[in-house]
Structure 1
Amino acid sequence: MNRRRFMKLLSGVSLTAMTVTAVELAEMAGPLVAPAYAQSKPGVLRVAMTAGDIPLTTGQPSQGGEGVRFMGITVYDGLTRWDLSHADRAPVIVPDLAESWSVSESDRKVWTFKLRKDVKFHDGSEFTADAVVFNFDKLLRKDAPQYDPAQSAQGSLWTGPLASWRKIDDYTVEITTKQVDAILPYMLANLFMSSPKRWEEVGKDWAKFAEKPSGTGPWKLVAFKPRERAELVRNTEHWDKSRIPKSEQLILFPMPDANTRAAALLSGQVDFVEAPPPDVIPRLKAAKMQIVTNIYPHVWPYQISVLEDSPFKDIRIRKAANLAIDREGLVKLLGGLALPAKGHVDPAHPWFGKPTFEIKYDPEQAMALLKEAGYGPDKPVQLKVIISPSGSGQMQPLAMNEFIKENFKDVGIEVEFEVLDWEALRTRRRLGAWAPENKGRHGINNSFAYWDPDIGLVSTASSDAKVPFGFNWGGYSNPKADALAKRAKETFDLEAQNRILAELHGVIVDDAMWIWMVHDLNPRALRPNVKGFVQAQSWFQDLTPVIVE
């Protein structure tokens, strides 16, 4: 795209695709003086989420990774968790409700988890092996009285490896996977434990449980109103004394519009916002707001269909689409808060490998590939892609997608967008490209993490890991990718597993499995009196150390 068209598009996005401009924000926020944040209350942390609604409160949250961040690891615990206490290195999996685990030497599909003792749910009941069985049953056993379709759908991304589970004694659980699966501890960090006692108390009704949830996490949910706010208080009895929140109260506000979040921060309505709009960051800095960024395992792609009715079935079109995107221009559009993607994972990652297809901006090569595939100015490729206006990790999706639409048009690809609410988009992702609801849709714009091997590579590239029990939305299939994914799951040595994953990444990039645009830098904006936040190199973040002075 030439500079003139880029600047025209950039100004158009700033003024039309967003609800208000930076100038209007300044008028809304008033003068940049101390009274602008006089509404801050010590001990109360108010956060503006990008989500359009309060995530599901029963244990398996909705709203994607943001739901896990704000309604998963806050109110609940899993058997394992991510250590989010460092900003200078990638998080690792550590014990949580399970204090240790081991794999059987005779059958590598069988795991034994030793549970932590003296852990209490918020309702005072004890966490034991019975609670673990109860929670796995609620997700996977359709004949169980506690089975909950809503939680099952949300947890389906993580429960795929589980074949069976049973209580050995009060503090020991045995889990058997369907296949040898070295990745299981990563998956269990996303499966949260709800109180069986509270479910009984509310008449075995998950809708009523949602109004009065009980987990074992560092925060207790005490009240919420859909699409408006959720109020959490610190759990002073949390079993991990180092993770008892420093703030007395956490208030969550759904604010899907980026400029609304920024205005709320400037006017003192909130203390902490997710994904501030790039064009307002200078204004926020002038107001002495803290702008926090960090690299983390995350990419913004189009997951594409390679089914018979999709133009992307032709690798030449997949490669052309990847070569058509001006990623440096996209980074400028985002105010520098992103990095151009060279593949699914960033080039510094141990899984990057040595792909031979170089993802770059080369419109001439893109047009040559399209011509070879039978397309040209008089016969453009026709695409339809599902996108959302906001959501978990989506950055500024409307502006970004309009930019890409112009890039595609330059080389002979015409794209139409179907805009859905974030949670509606995730529902369509779980259905797969082959579902009737997705007929005629050739891609879905869903930001994607690669924090663990499964979500990162194995279940995106495996032909047998189709959604909802994997992440293969578009029917991608390559025997070499399948073989490497299987080897990675069967390899317990971390360095050897990394080498296999690097080879797998090379295969999917050379195949142009998806269209990859940018890695975002996870920006957040905090008021000057917010202290203690450590931005981990993760999609998840720990709010327990944060305090409003």
Structure 2
Amino acid sequence: MMMAIRVLALTGPSRTVLGEGCGSRQTQNNGRRERGLLDDLSSRYRLIFLGHAQSPRFQIQSVRPRPQALERKTPAKAPSRALRVFSPIRGPSPADSSHAICGHGTSFAQLWVTSPTLPSIETPARSNHPRVARPRRSRYNETRSIAIHLTLERATMSRLTPFAAALVIVLHATSISAQTPRDVLVVGMEAEPPGLDPGQALGIHTLRVTAEIFETLVATAPDSTDTVPGLAESWTTSADGLAWTFKLRKGVRFHDGTALDANAVKFTFDRIIDPSHPHAKSGKWTFVTGYLSSVKAVEVLDPQTVQLQLKYPTGSLLALLALPNCAIVSPTAFAKSPADFDAKPVGSGRYKVESWERGSRLVLRRNDDYWGSKGKPQTLVYRGLAEANARVAELLTGGVDLILPIPPDFVARLEKTSGVTVHKAPGLTVWYVGFNVEKKPFTDRRVRQAFSHAVNREAITRDILKGTGIPAIGPLLPGTWAFEPNVRKYPYDAAAARKLLAEAGYPNGLETDLWVPESGSGMQAPVEMATVIQANLAAVGVKAQLKTFEWGSYLGKVRAEAPALFALSWFLKSEDPDLSMYPLFYSKNQPLPNRSNYNNSEVDQLLVQARQTGDRARRVELYRRAQRVIVEDAPMVFVDHEVQVVATRAGVKGFRLHPSGFDLRVENVTKE
């Protein structure tokens, strides 16, 4: 089936049809190729096609009822960046290798992209065309931005071509040359932070930003997951392991000019751990409640010395304190306006907030009064670009300098693109499908085990992730110091899955919803991965209805509504298993971050024992035993461990991926 295409350029109220017709077609008999619209446009402009019909199948998304006059249909609010219309759905190609657009009966879709270098268009708008808002100019995107409206209609031809099935088309007259200023680094990521208080942060995309604004008592080394001094230049531990005393650096000040001292550390931690603290209810504290769960009290010994008194010895304490959720905040700024602190945070880091245009960009300015080595870029700009195709298009057109995550389909292509550098390294992430074990049918372990057998991890990592994932057998990455290889295995086995379902009382299968975000921190290709999982489950009689959500609202909805089946991932900043196994599987960490509501007394005992000893060999033994029990119980389907991928423009120098996959360290980056 061929698609008819109309390409419209819009500049403010002006609206011009650049062309309309069909993409080039190829006949089945002799392979003859007839010239089409996009071929014609290719002769006049340079076209960049991201995605094509050689990817197995496509599905239209974000569709609207077909209007009578498509040229008069304009969205109420024209996005200034790309909006995905359809995305590749991986899986076996049709037997005849044709690639149909499957719109569930819908006959058109719309796509908006931008190009900073499209030739000037002077044609005035027709009087019956609604006005389209001109994209806002900024010093961080000096070139003129023009929206391209691409309308696709069903036609009668039998095959798609790579042109007609393009996911994103960026038109421009010259080679890619748009640049952001040399002292400005622009980062395009999957979503903008919902807020910037580290104690309330949920997503890794938020923590990657707060790590530039705030600092922690101890930090993670730049080239390993080892713990090194941070705000604390030294520390000591009592013989019984119940008292940790930290000596703070002198002369450190928050961005508001107030001193970062022992009182600031006490204030930051007490608002989390002390129910009687005046600001205990001033925020929706997240993972940090678990990270600080072993801290009984915080004592100020003198202005530069603070002591953490623990409920029990905690071998992972330093690794926990290095997490960005545990960053120290300005007591003065927070107490002045707790409700505003999430939007106007005050820390002591290398960068401070200059401005924040919600839905557009967050701008950080270098803190020239920073106590240590200052950041190299004068300005960091973070842009939330939910659509993967939009992130790639912005990188190629110079709208951003660095993007993450990268759609797996585009990794190989970007590696071959001049002017782009692709960085890859294994991370410590685990991607999983979680069960709410308190909701039927997932109260029955056999059902959960059946789902684990039904999911084809190898196919997902091979065909969807294109090698940017490692099949998982449990919560920990193979090769890390506590990884247990001898857990129960769940190879892809539809017959075994059907047998377990029948034993659990579901011989004819069952129905459920599967919640999944459209993008997100560590979520790789969530909709595509979930679509394969949906097909895997259908093969064993399970009808899983996908419910997709925008990433910015997804975590809050999962927290509030506790769905029965949901896709998520978990990042570790350290190989220490306490940073993942304790938050995810300890029963008292319900409902966050133990979203599965998993409760096993044996696992609780093993996890507490492991975190209370400093003996590495003993901890390894305990964590390995816990992994065997957890994987047998199957509170989640462990799918894969992400291979982190970041792309930069070739002029970006000094960027290095951190071994954890957690940090995004851009403070030492320069641009040529």
Structure 2 contact 522–571 (Cα < 8 Å) conserved: no
2:539 matched residue in structure 1: 410
1:134 aligns with 2:270: no
Structure 1 contact 390–396 (Cα < 8 Å) conserved: yes
2:644 matched residue in structure 1: 522
1:394 aligns with 2:523: yes
TM-score (norm 1): 0.87
Find 1:191's aligned residue among 305, 326, 334: 326
* CA apart distance, 1:213: 3.0
3-state secondary structure, aligned to 1:416? strand
Select the structure that is richer in strand. Answer: 2
Superposition map of 1:176-255 within 5 A? 176-189=309-322, 190-199=325-334, 204-210=336-342, 212-241=344-373, 244-255=374-385
Find 1:100's aligned residue among 225, 234, 249: 234
Between 1:173-182 and 1:151-160, the stretch displaced more is 151-160
3-state secondary structure, aligned to 1:481? helix
1:492 matched residue in structure 2: 614
Find 1:37's aligned residue among 167, 177, 191: 177
- Separation (CA, whole Å) in 1 of partners of 2:552 and 2:297: 30
More relative contact order, 1 or 2 (CA 8 Å, 6+ apart): 1
Find 1:274's aligned residue among 394, 404, 426: 404
1:78 aligns with 2:185: no
Structure 2 contact 200–286 (Cα < 8 Å) conserved: no
1:3 matched residue in structure 2: none
Give ranges in structure 2 of 5+ residues lacking alignment.
Answer: 1-52, 63-83, 88-161
* CA apart distance, 1:68: 0.8
Between 1:485-494 and 1:382-391, the stretch displaced more is 382-391
Q: Which amino acid aligns with 1:225?
A: E
* CA apart distance, 1:62: 2.9
* CA apart distance, 1:215: 0.9
* CA apart distance, 1:96: 0.9
TM-score (norm 2): 0.72
- Separation (CA, whole Å) in 1 of partners of 2:359 and 2:273: 29
1:427 matched residue in structure 2: 556
2:669 matched residue in structure 1: 546
1:150 aligns with 2:275: no
Find 1:163's aligned residue among 288, 296, 306: 296
3-state secondary structure, aligned to 1:523? strand
2:85 matched residue in structure 1: 19
2:204 matched residue in structure 1: 65
Between 1:156-165 and 1:130-139, the stretch displaced more is 156-165
Q: How has the CA–CA distance of structure 1 residues 287 and 384 changed in structure 2, closer, same or farther, with 3 Å as cutoff?
A: same
Q: Which amino acid aligns with 1:392?
A: S
Q: How has the CA–CA distance of structure 1 residues 489 and 409 changed in structure 2, closer, same or farther, with 3 Å as cutoff?
A: same
2:193 matched residue in structure 1: 54
3-state secondary structure, aligned to 1:47? strand
Between 1:488-497 and 1:253-262, the stretch displaced more is 488-497
Structure 1 contact 58–213 (Cα < 8 Å) conserved: yes
Structure 1 contact 78–193 (Cα < 8 Å) conserved: yes
Structure 2 contact 428–642 (Cα < 8 Å) conserved: no
* CA apart distance, 1:540: 1.6
Structure 1 contact 367–412 (Cα < 8 Å) conserved: yes
3-state secondary structure, aligned to 2:587? coil
3-state secondary structure, aligned to 1:73? helix
Q: How has the CA–CA distance of structure 1 residues 155 and 422 changed in structure 2, closer, same or farther, with 3 Å as cutoff?
A: farther
Structure 1 contact 19–259 (Cα < 8 Å) conserved: no
- Separation (CA, whole Å) in 1 of partners of 2:360 and 2:451: 39
Structure 1 contact 375–412 (Cα < 8 Å) conserved: no
Give ranges in structure 1 of 5+ residues lacking alignment.
Answer: 1-7, 432-436
Q: How has the CA–CA distance of structure 1 residues 503 and 142 changed in structure 2, closer, same or farther, with 3 Å as cutoff?
A: closer
Structure 2 contact 198–207 (Cα < 8 Å) conserved: no
* CA apart distance, 1:394: 1.0
3-state secondary structure, aligned to 2:212? coil
1:315 matched residue in structure 2: 445
3-state secondary structure, aligned to 2:56? helix
3-state secondary structure, aligned to 2:466? coil
- Separation (CA, whole Å) in 2 of partners of 1:154 and 1:502: 24
2:91 matched residue in structure 1: none
3-state secondary structure, aligned to 1:67? helix
- Separation (CA, whole Å) in 1 of partners of 2:58 and 2:465: 11
- Separation (CA, whole Å) in 2 of partners of 1:510 and 1:266: 46
- Percent identity between the two aligned chains: 28
Structure 1 contact 532–547 (Cα < 8 Å) conserved: yes
Q: Which amino acid aligns with 1:81?
A: A
Q: CA RMSD in A?
A: 2.6
Structure 1 contact 55–61 (Cα < 8 Å) conserved: no
Q: How has the CA–CA distance of structure 1 residues 495 and 10 changed in structure 2, closer, same or farther, with 3 Å as cutoff?
A: farther
Q: Which amino acid aligns with 1:284?
A: L
Q: Which amino acid aligns with 1:19?
A: V
- Separation (CA, whole Å) in 2 of partners of 1:463 and 1:151: 20
3-state secondary structure, aligned to 2:426? coil
Q: How has the CA–CA distance of structure 1 residues 98 and 151 changed in structure 2, closer, same or farther, with 3 Å as cutoff?
A: farther
- Separation (CA, whole Å) in 1 of partners of 2:520 and 2:290: 18
Structure 1 contact 40–548 (Cα < 8 Å) conserved: no
How many residue pairs get aligned? The number is 517
1:296 aligns with 2:419: no
